[in-house]
Structure 1
Amino acid sequence: MRGRVLIIAGSDSGGGAGIQADIKTVTALGGYGATAITALTAQNTQGVAKILPIAPDFIVEQVKQVLTDIGADCIKIGMLHSTAVIDAVANLIDELAGNIPLLLDPVMIAKDSTSLLDPAALSVLKQRLLPRATLITPNIPEAEALSGRKIDHPEAMPQAANALLALGPAGVLLKGGHLPGHQLHDLLMTQDYQESFQVQRIVSPHTHGTGCTLASAIATGLAQNRPLSEAVRRAHAYVQEAIRLAPGYGKGYGPLNHAHTVSPFRI
């Protein structure tokens, strides 16, 4: 077990996304996952029924307890949902995180279109956390909200990624899964590097939690001192295989097979 990842995100009672997907992913890739839960959700593969926010001071206490004892080699941030939570997390990271790499997955909308981020909090997210991020991993709708640009074809992705870089993060992985077509286009960009990831789309309803899973897989690679491009490449391959081997659970958008790297323990 190598690479400590502190995950700051919401809980998914269905186990396919959020903290549950994050822990499975980090473990499956050989890392150690610690958590600070920002919200509880009552959900399954068909949608989010209810959301119970966690008080900002308790989120801060979770982060503080982990960082002052176990420590972290990478911090992965997912669902933050409100201005108060974003400010509290940003303040604590400024105080305790030092030079720990920070991966920000700007979770805004659930698979069933439930809003997971207060619209008023968007500008605070851009001001407080994007400039601190080693990498942000927005999908197309999230990138459009952050950049103010329409992204309706792969050729528009480099300009949008550049606009996101101008907001301060060191790197952007712009995920193109919302664009039409048989090929998926993801774009990794920093100030001096660009790499495109293109794969055949796997036609499947079992894609719940792909964004959380990809972000946590990359965070694990960074925590294990892999170069950014290598961490993204491994994470991309891991998620593709997790979709391909999805167990088929649920009546809606089903979970991935996060454990496809793991051999069952036998006595």
Structure 2
Amino acid sequence: MTDLLPTAAPGETPVRVMTIAGSDSGGGAGIQADLRTFALLGLHGCVAVTAVTVQNSLGVSGVQTIDPEVVAAQIRTVTSDIGVSAVKTGMLATAEIISAIADACTEVGIGGGGVPLVVDPVCASMHGDPLLATDALDTLVGRMFPLADIVTPNLDEVRLITGVDVVDADSQRAAARALRDRGTRWALVKGGHLRGSDRSPDLLFDGDDYIEIDGPRIDTPHDHGAGDTLAAAICSALAHGYSMPDAVVFAKRWVTRGLESAYPLGAGHGPVNPLWRVG
């Protein structure tokens, strides 16, 4: 499979996608990582901003959420004019914002068998800083998972959502089943944070079949935005009509290349680097 997606000819309108997520002022994760991936894969990225974080390579020191109706209005306004072929979500911040997003997505045909929807259930930053209100997790699962074509939690988020601590292949399968039981069409349980191997086995599950998507573990401390980048690449491939398994395989190759070329930034963790694409 190629590492790149088809791109539009000069002057031709590219495929359009949307990220519904928070802004990272340090540029490593969030909307910034999503737009970087969309652009370098040749897609036009639209946004619905849910929150503005005060953030650098060392962590998050502040969060300002956006009015839920303003978030929903961004979704309605973009889809009614520009149109999108796939959508991903990231930091959704509060129960009120999540409910407004779910209502808007249902209204305009995102998710639920319509426009493909990738839900990355962001709960905390890589430094452990909370990015989801404590009372919002049930709303995230109850409102967004039934709309989702796929959910892409990291292992900490898997544990929060399902109570399953993923430590081996059996618990990875149990977690995939538990996620699928919460309403999503496909569940992806990533293996990048499993230790004790030089491999990073992700597991994709649709309720019937388990598909293992293997790859090398990249030894780097600079992995800020890896989850956002993976979900954005899945979204991009789905927008081009890829099947879900092919979209996940493509995205894993994309984020692996980004980890291989990750760079230091500031005094903390540097970002996954899809700029290899222009090298």
**Smaller-chain TM-score range?**
over 0.9
Per the alignment, residue 215 of structure 1 pairs with: 231
Per the alignment, residue 135 of structure 1 pairs with: 150
TM-score, normalization by structure 2: 0.91
Query: 1:191-233 deviations in whole A, cap 9, x for unaligned?
Result: 2332112223211111000000000000000001011111111
Amino acid at match of 1:24: R
Q: 1:198 and 2:214 equivalent?
A: yes
Equivalent pair of 2:164/2:171 in contact (CA under 8 Å) = no
SS for the counterpart of 1:199 is: coil
Q: 1:150 and 2:162 equivalent?
A: no
Distance in 1, Cα, partners of 2:160 & 2:76? 31
Moved more, 172-181 or 210-219: 172-181
Alpha-carbon deviation of 1:163? 1.1
Gaps of 5+ in 2: 1-7, 9-13
SS for the counterpart of 1:206 is: coil
SS for the counterpart of 1:19 is: helix
Distance in 2, Cα, partners of 1:154 & 1:108? 24
Distance in 2, Cα, partners of 1:261 & 1:107? 26
Per the alignment, residue 27 of structure 1 pairs with: 39
SS for the counterpart of 1:253 is: coil
2:108 to 96, 99, 122: 96
1:45 to 57, 60, 64: 57
Alpha-carbon RMSD across the aligned residues, in angstroms, is: 1.3
Amino acid at match of 2:157: E
Per the alignment, residue 111 of structure 1 pairs with: 126
SS for the counterpart of 2:42 is: coil
Distance in 1, Cα, partners of 2:157 & 2:191? 11
Q: 1:80 and 2:96 equivalent?
A: no
Alpha-carbon deviation of 1:88? 0.5
Per the alignment, residue 184 of structure 2 pairs with: 169
Equivalent pair of 2:68/2:96 in contact (CA under 8 Å) = yes
SS for the counterpart of 2:157 is: helix
SS for the counterpart of 1:73 is: coil
Equivalent pair of 1:154/1:176 in contact (CA under 8 Å) = no
Q: 1:226 and 2:245 equivalent?
A: no
Alpha-carbon deviation of 1:176? 1.9
Alpha-carbon deviation of 1:73? 0.6
Alpha-carbon deviation of 1:16? 0.8
TM-score, normalization by structure 1: 0.95
1:249 to 259, 265, 269: 265
Distance in 1, Cα, partners of 2:85 & 2:180? 23
Equivalent pair of 2:124/2:130 in contact (CA under 8 Å) = yes
Distance in 1, Cα, partners of 2:62 & 2:165? 31
SS for the counterpart of 2:215 is: strand
Percent identity of paired positions between Structure 1 and Structure 2: 39
Alpha-carbon deviation of 1:127? 1.0
Moved more, 245-254 or 220-229: 245-254
Alpha-carbon deviation of 1:250? 2.2
Aligned residues: 263
Gaps of 5+ in 1: none
SS for the counterpart of 2:23 is: strand
List structure 1 segments (4+ residues) > 6 angstroms apart after TM superposition. Answer: none
Query: 1:32-83 deviations in whole A, cap 9, x for unaligned?
Result: 1100110001111111111111111111111111011001111101100111
Alpha-carbon deviation of 1:123? 0.8
Q: 1:123 and 2:135 equivalent?
A: no
Distance in 2, Cα, partners of 1:248 & 1:136? 29
| Higher strand proportion | 1
SS for the counterpart of 1:179 is: coil
Distance in 1, Cα, partners of 2:274 & 2:165? 32
